[in-house]
Amino acid sequence: MALPKLVRDIMTSNITTIEQDAKLLDAVLMLRSSGFRHLPVVHDGKLVGLLSDRDVQRAAPSMFGEVTPEEYNRIFETTPVSRVMIKEPQTATPDMPISEAVGIMHQNKYGALPVVDSGGKLAGILTTTDLLGLLNRVLSS
């Protein structure tokens, strides 16, 4: 059995995205319902950012602060995703060797790497879960 060598061979291509002008509440609901930890942020079909569940946690007011439930909800209902997302995230290409993408993720401690084609269009996302799936295949061979 030949092992995959390129990002395109193991990336998740059926991805959920969110628009940059969406509200943080929309992102939280998408993250919870999908079970994903990362949402690529797009504008006119092009990748403009990446939002992780950790970014959302950092944006949330502390539960130990003196924020009322109404104020807490208002923050999520009015804050645009573009204010919290990682702008211009590092990316991979579908034809990038998996080893190179792993190096980028490991060196920078990324949990995901958006994958864009030569035209800048989002083609998928490479996540630690995708890499663990590959590792499982390797170890099971």
Which conformational region is residue 120 in: left (phi greater than 0), alpha (psi within -120 to 50 degrees), or beta? left
The distance in angstroms from the start CA to the end CA of the chain is 8
121 DSSP 8-state letter: B
- Residues 58-87: tens digit of each pLDDT: 988 877 778 888 888 898 899 999 999 999
- Residues 104-141: tens digit of each pLDDT: 999 999 999 999 998 888 999 999 999 999 999 999 98
- Pairwise CA distance, residues 76 & 120, whole Å: 30
Query: Which residue type occupies 108?
Result: N
Q: What is the mean pLDDT of residues 42-50?
A: 91
Verdict on whether the full-model pTM lies above 0.85: yes
Tokens describing residue 135: 């590792």
- All structural domains of the chain, each given as residue ranges with its CATH number in brackets, are 7-140 (3.10.580.10)
Query: Closest Cα to residue 131, out of 77, 90, 79, 92?
Result: 92
Q: What is the pLDDT of residue 6?
A: 97
Q: What is the pLDDT of residue 44?
A: 85
- Pairwise CA distance, residues 99 & 53, whole Å: 26
**Sign of the Cα pseudo-torsion (11, 15, 20, 23, in order):** negative
